Amino acid sequence: MMSRSTIAWVVAVLVICTVIMAYVSMRTKEASAAAAAAPSSAPRKKTRHRWVLVLDLDETLVHTPNEGRADPIERPFVREFLRRVAETFDEVVVFTAGTKEYASPVLDGLDPERRIFGRRLYRESCSIVELAGVLSVVKDLRRLGEADLSRVRLVDNTPSTYALQPASGVPISSFYGDPSDRALVETLARLVSEVAMDGRSS
């Protein structure tokens, strides 16, 4: 036979255990609810389809005076532009007619943590094509190996570069150092809205 004091002690221990278990259970539910509500650290995509953005470098993102021998001048808003397109597109590719020796350090400066550009294509990836009797440097987007070129965009200040896939071309004015230039802001708005519209219509 247990004494009254022993029974009281056992009851007290049971009550304390029940309270502790209820508290732990409540905190666990709160933690999982908070985790579910927290925004994902993965980039948010606006659409179920894969969208790829291809960017020219010279006179589109930067201007490097003296034919590439001076330090590059970044186009106004280029950092914000790159951050936002990396969130919006599934992949951002740089495709430049510049040499790797010149362009690679410039791209490292724009993307020091290598989070923006998924691929880097240099001069040797360009094609020489005769356009209206003139040999021209062309960026053939089929080189990307994307299944759906209708969801690939190429922003380039030289329209002849997208002559083979004109529907993918996004024209932009040439940048030569004007500090009041806002072309990247306008281009960003166009690109983001196009991807968002595709997400709504699908």
Q: Which residues bind Mg ion (CB under 5 A)?
A: 56, 58-60, 157
Q: Transcribe 29-92 into DSSP letters.
A: HHHHHHHHHSPPSSPP-S-SS--EEEE--BTTTEE-HHHHTSPPEEPTTHHHHHHHHHHHSSEE
Tell me whether residue 46 or residue 63 sits nearer to Mg ion (CB atom). 63
Tell me whether residue 46 or residue 188 sits nearer to Mg ion (CB atom). 188
Q: Least distance in Å: CB of 56 to Mg ion?
A: 4
Please list the active-site residues.
Answer: 56, 58
Q: How far apart are CA 51 and CA 139, in angstroms?
A: 18
Q: Least distance in Å: CB of 72 to Mg ion?
A: 12
Tell me whether residue 47 or residue 126 sits nearer to Mg ion (CB atom). 126
Q: Least distance in Å: CB of 161 to Mg ion?
A: 8
Q: Least distance in Å: CB of 192 to Mg ion?
A: 22
| Residue 91 exposed, middle or buried by CB count within 10 Å (0-12, 13-18, 19+) | middle
Tell me whether residue 146 or residue 156 sits nearer to Mg ion (CB atom). 156
- For residue 139, report the phi and psi dihedrals to the nearest 5 degrees: -105, 100
Neighbours of 82 (CB within 10 A): 22
Only one residue has tokens 């709160």, namely 30
